[in-house]
Chain A
Amino acid sequence: MAPRTLFEKVWSAHEVSAETADTPAVLYIDLHLIHEVTSPQAFQVLRERGLPVRRTDRTLGTMDHSTPTLTSQVFGGAPIAVDSAARQVAALERNCTEFGVELLALRHAQRGIVHVIGPELGLSQPGKTIVCGDSHTSTHGALGALAFGIGTTEVGHVLATQCLLQRKPRTLAINVEGALGRGVTAKDLILGIIGQIGVAGGTGQVIEYRGSTIRGLAMEGRLTVCNMSIEAGARAGMIAPDETTYRYLQGRPRAPRGADWEAALERWRALPSDPGAHFDREVHVNATRIEPMITYGTNPGMVIPISAAIPQRPGDAAFARALDYMGFTAGEPIKDRKVNVVFVGSCTNARLSDLRAAAGVLRGKRIARGITMLVVPGSQDVKRQAETEGLDRIFTEAGAQWRESGCSMCLGMNGDLVPRGEYSVSTSNRNFEGRQGAGARTLLASPLTAAACALTGRVTDPREVL
């Protein structure tokens, strides 16, 4: 057999029927994750057509996008302050009960951001096809799964048939070589990659991240890299499973055990791309050149090393408009610009290692006067582990707010908002206009950089405080 890529192996193992000139492939889905925002209309379609959920055992619900992060509203009996969020939470509870779908509801000990809990529970595994009505489903590809975001109509298709109609995407290899410098994290790496290939650089393609730098990343860093594949426009991002993957998965609550684990390992070890496998396109990235990165504009491709000046693009009206929105001037350094809000959270950077990194910067110190800092763990499990290590105390003693898990200020659906005109250094994934609240100005960065900015109240190179 001709050498095959990781993607091709996973894809072909899930073809119920291959694509033809007239029809797309019917692709089987191993794991379907659902949440409260993109599922109500899909359940409604099932109801209208009298259809059951075909495989409740392959479906798991959680709530994250619009849920409150204030403990009083999650556990304290206070009503959810945002009415629409309360309605969506109630609708998901009703739908999961009616259709027999397991739900990690608001007060469940394992609830969290959907892309944090999948890997954390050991449900996201190498070789699986995983979908969710959320574009950051690409995250789970870090474990060697084919994972991608879908719309609500497709959520309905998977609920009803456990399958999707799909045309086969093209493949893009991103080969990353070289050691990451001091203060440079997986977040900086993926921001650097997006800066290099552009926000549409991955359209129609599934990325496989390869090379020594990727091999050297811990699992949580790999999750951060794959998470932002969609910010390059890619359908999915994948990393071949290896010992790092297996060590991460072994013993997790829903990972295989005993003889099943051994059998799974044997299957998983056959998944990495064969030597000589062909990719439709290859890109090379020199990791040694990547610095702590920060965005200055209104899409994630508008990114620079933190020590650099904001670029100049005379005659580019869209660029000028973006800088106008941000209140920045072309050619000026971004360093030392004033910051109002710091957000450590989201499916990109709210895992334990992210919180440790931010806490490491803040330990024994106070954040700058006037700064609002939210630290929102990616899951209730991350929250408990962080509290066991005393990270919550470091954050609260520094003057930051320590919250219950959820998407929170990444998209501001739950009322955690950046005020109009204010600057937010955020560990999340999108700096679109209004993403964190109408008129909010977002600068995307790593947890290290975000914590450094909180200390000084200004855009700060984390290497200066490490």
Chain B
Amino acid sequence: MEALTTLTSRTLIMPAANIDTDQIIPARFLTTTTRAGLGSRLFADWRYAADGSPRPEFILNRPEAAGARILVAGRNFGCGSSREHAPWALLDYGIRAVVSTELADIFCTNALKNGLLPVIVDEATSAWLLAHPGVEVTLDVAAMTLALPDRRTVRFPLEPFARHCLLQGIDELGFLLEQRPAIEAFERRA
């Protein structure tokens, strides 16, 4: 996992609530046996018409989307299926953080396991960001802050161990493997 300490980027806005993982990456693209290459399928059914041509009105097809690494979405983003292909597709496209008032549990867990930062903010901050598409903001993982262009800073919650892993660029498997003596003791007790 690639470490993430701070991230400064313009935002990309998707205001709809309840954007589900079937929209993020439709099931017919879950056919890979690797993690790479899903970025071109991200939001495929909103992004492309039935004939495969890009829909010009969709945010990812607009010039201002180019290079944006922070997605600001309506509440309950990532609901539905547990497919880790959703964060894989977002990361492969270039998104490194998702900001919302609420993120679905499994999506949030999957995101953190892959270095995609989930940022939960209050209604007012979310509403402001959604009303100001493309502003440049800065995320600071160590401080757990989101800095807005008007110099306001809002804090967001981040599970301490996930934060540690993000900052160090390490995955959790190493930690779990180190628990082996405790796991063996548990298995003897059980």
Q: Which residues of A contact B (CB under 8 A)?
A: 16-17, 21-24, 26, 28, 37-38, 40-41, 44-45, 49, 51, 65-66, 82, 84-85, 87-88, 91, 133-135, 149-154, 156-157, 160-163, 165, 167, 169, 199-200, 203-204, 230, 233, 235, 299, 301, 318, 321, 411-413, 420, 430, 432-435, 438-439
- Shortest distance between the CB of B59 and any CB in chain A (Å): 14
Q: Is the beta-carbon distance between B16 and A84 smaller than 8 angstroms?
A: no
> B29 — nearest CB in chain A belongs to which residue?
A84
Q: Please judge, given known A-B contacts A28-B190, A151-B113, A420-B50, whether A17 and B179 are in contact too, CB under 8 Å.
A: yes
- Shortest distance between the CB of A29 and any CB in chain B (Å): 11
For the complex, what is the distance from the CA of A163 to the CA of B33, rounded to whole Å? 23
> A87 — nearest CB in chain B belongs to which residue?
B33
For the complex, what is the distance from the CA of A45 to the CA of B173, rounded to whole Å? 10
- Shortest distance between the CB of A58 and any CB in chain B (Å): 10
For the complex, what is the distance from the CA of A327 to the CA of B33, rounded to whole Å? 36
Q: Is the beta-carbon distance between B20 and A21 smaller than 8 angstroms?
A: no
Q: Is the beta-carbon distance between A151 and B33 smaller than 8 angstroms?
A: no
Given contacts A84-B31, A84-B32, A439-B45, 11 further A-B contacts (CB under 8 A): A22-B164, A23-B160, A41-B84, A44-B33, A133-B82, A134-B82, A161-B179, A200-B76, A318-B18, A413-B30, A438-B26
- Shortest distance between the CB of B127 and any CB in chain A (Å): 14
For the complex, what is the distance from the CA of A135 to the CA of B107, rounded to whole Å? 10
Which 7 residue pairs of A and B lie closest in terms of their CB atoms, listed nearest first? A84-B31, A151-B110, A151-B84, A40-B33, A153-B113, A149-B82, A135-B82
Instruction: Digitize B163-184: 1 where CB-to-A-CB distance is under 8 Å, 0 elsewhere.
Output: 0100000011101110110110
Contact of B106 with A by CB under 8 A:
yes
- Shortest distance between the CB of A28 and any CB in chain B (Å): 6
For the complex, what is the distance from the CA of A198 to the CA of B159, rounded to whole Å? 25
> A152 — nearest CB in chain B belongs to which residue?
B84
Q: Please judge, given known A-B contacts A157-B176, A433-B23, whether A438 and B31 are in contact too, CB under 8 Å.
A: no
Q: Is the beta-carbon distance between B186 and A28 smaller than 8 angstroms?
A: yes
Please report which residues of chain B, range 46-105, place their CB below 8 angstroms from some CB of chain A when the two chains form the complex: 50, 74-76, 79-84, 87, 102, 104-105
Q: Is the beta-carbon distance between B79 and A199 smaller than 8 angstroms?
A: yes
Q: Which residues of A contact B50 (CB under 8 A)?
A: 420, 438-439
- Shortest distance between the CB of B32 and any CB in chain A (Å): 8
Q: Which residues of A contact B183 (CB under 8 A)?
A: 16, 26, 28, 161-163
> Could you name 15 residue pairs across A and B whose Cβ atoms are closer than 8 Å?
A16-B182, A22-B161, A44-B33, A91-B33, A151-B84, A152-B84, A157-B172, A163-B183, A200-B75, A233-B79, A413-B31, A430-B80, A430-B81, A433-B45, A434-B26
- Shortest distance between the CB of A330 and any CB in chain B (Å): 18
Q: Please judge, given known A-B contacts A153-B113, A430-B22, A438-B26, whether A318 and B16 are in contact too, CB under 8 Å.
A: yes
Q: Is the beta-carbon distance between A153 and B84 smaller than 8 angstroms?
A: yes
For the complex, what is the distance from the CA of A150 to the CA of B84, rounded to whole Å? 9
Q: Please judge, given known A-B contacts A135-B81, A153-B114, A318-B74, whether A411 and B27 are in contact too, CB under 8 Å.
A: yes
Contact of B182 among A26, A156, A299, A318 (CB under 8 A): A26
- Shortest distance between the CB of B51 and any CB in chain A (Å): 11
A interface, over-half SS: loop
For the complex, what is the distance from the CA of A87 to the CA of B34, rounded to whole Å? 12
Q: Which residues of A contact B132 (CB under 8 A)?
A: none
- Shortest distance between the CB of A42 and any CB in chain B (Å): 9
Q: Which residues of A contact B33 (CB under 8 A)?
A: 40-41, 44, 87-88, 91
Q: Is the beta-carbon distance between B110 and A153 smaller than 8 angstroms?
A: yes
For the complex, what is the distance from the CA of A22 to the CA of B175, rounded to whole Å? 13
- The bracket for how many chain B residues form the interface is 35 or more
Contact of B179 among A26, A66, A203 (CB under 8 A): A26
Contact of B106 among A41, A87, A150, A432 (CB under 8 A): A150
Q: Which residues of A contact B172 (CB under 8 A)?
A: 157, 165
For the complex, what is the distance from the CA of A133 to the CA of B113, rounded to whole Å? 14
For the complex, what is the distance from the CA of A394 to the CA of B157, rounded to whole Å? 56
> B159 — nearest CB in chain A belongs to which residue?
A167
For the complex, what is the distance from the CA of A301 to the CA of B18, rounded to whole Å? 10
Q: Please judge, given known A-B contacts A28-B183, A161-B176, A162-B183, whether A432 and B23 are in contact too, CB under 8 Å.
A: yes
For the complex, what is the distance from the CA of A235 to the CA of B105, rounded to whole Å? 7
Q: Which residues of A contact B161 (CB under 8 A)?
A: 22-24, 165
Q: Please judge, given known A-B contacts A26-B179, A233-B79, A413-B28, whether A200 and B104 are in contact too, CB under 8 Å.
A: yes
Q: Is the beta-carbon distance between B176 and A165 smaller than 8 angstroms?
A: yes
Contact of B17 with A by CB under 8 A:
yes
- Shortest distance between the CB of B135 and any CB in chain A (Å): 21
Q: Which residues of B contact A439 (CB under 8 A)?
A: 45, 50
Q: Is the beta-carbon distance between B82 and A38 smaller than 8 angstroms?
A: yes
- Shortest distance between the CB of B141 and any CB in chain A (Å): 16
Q: Which residues of B contact A432 (CB under 8 A)?
A: 20, 22-23, 80
Q: Is the beta-carbon distance between A434 and B106 smaller than 8 angstroms?
A: no
Q: Which residues of A contact B83 (CB under 8 A)?
A: 37-38, 151
Q: Is the beta-carbon distance between A41 and B34 smaller than 8 angstroms?
A: yes
Q: Is the beta-carbon distance between B30 and A233 smaller than 8 angstroms?
A: no
- Shortest distance between the CB of B92 and any CB in chain A (Å): 13
> A131 — nearest CB in chain B belongs to which residue?
B82
Q: Which residues of B contact A162 (CB under 8 A)?
A: 183, 187
- Shortest distance between the CB of A336 and any CB in chain B (Å): 28
- Shortest distance between the CB of A247 and any CB in chain B (Å): 27
> A91 — nearest CB in chain B belongs to which residue?
B33
Q: Please judge, given known A-B contacts A28-B186, A91-B33, whether A160 and B176 are in contact too, CB under 8 Å.
A: yes
